[in-house]
Chain A
C-alpha cells in the first residue's frame, strides 16, 4: 500500500537550515509528481512546492521562493525539501503529498513532520 513518511523536522534557530525528507513505498515513485504542504499551529493548509515526475517541472509558492528547494531522488524513492533562512513563521507541520490516482489533487499524504523555528 502507498506509504509516505516524512522526517527531518525538529527545533531550529532562526536563520538556520533544515532538510526534510519524505520516504515513499508501495508504488513506482518515479512516475508521480509530489508536493510539500505545511500547516502552522492552529492555521490552515499552505501549498509550498511541486516537483513533477523526472523533475522537469518545479514550482514554488511566493512565500518560500528563493528560500526552499524541492528535489527528488528516484533511486532512493525519496522527496526532499531543503529549507534555508528559516523564520519563526515557518514553524509548521510539513506534509508531503502526491497526485497518484487523481491528477491536480492530493490523494495521498504523509503524517507530517513538525518544524519549530525558535531561538
Chain B
C-alpha cells in the first residue's frame, strides 16, 4: 500500500493548461478504472473533482478532465484560474476493498 506518486507542485499562468500525473502500479491504478481526484483548499475538507478516471460530478467545471494510461492517471486543468490554486490528490482503488491516495500536488497559479 505505497502512496501513488504525484509531482510536488505544478504551476501555470492564468489561461494556460496544466497536467498532474499520478503514478501507481499494476495492483492499483493499472488494474482498475477507479481513479478519483480531490481538490483541497487550506483548512477545508477535500472535494471530489473526478471519479472513475474521467467523469465529473455534477457542478464540477468542465475545465477539469481526467485520463489514464497504464499505471499512470492524469488530471488536466485547462484555462487555469486563480480559484484552481489548491492541493490536488489522486486516489485509486487497490483491491480487497482498500484504497490508496497520491502524495499530493500543489497547483500554483502564477
A residues apposed to B, CB below 8 Å = 35, 37, 43-47, 50, 52, 57-63, 95, 97, 101-102, 104-107, 109-112
Contact = CB atoms under 8 A, between A and B. Distances in A.
Interface of B: 1, 3, 34, 36, 38, 40, 45-48, 51-52, 57, 89, 91, 93, 96-104
B97 A110 contact: no
Nearest to A93: B45
Contact of B91 (A45, A63, A109): A45
A35 B89 contact: no
Interface SS majority for chain A: loop
Given A50-B99, A57-B97, A45 B45 contact: no
A111 B43 CA distance: 9
Nearest to B40: A45
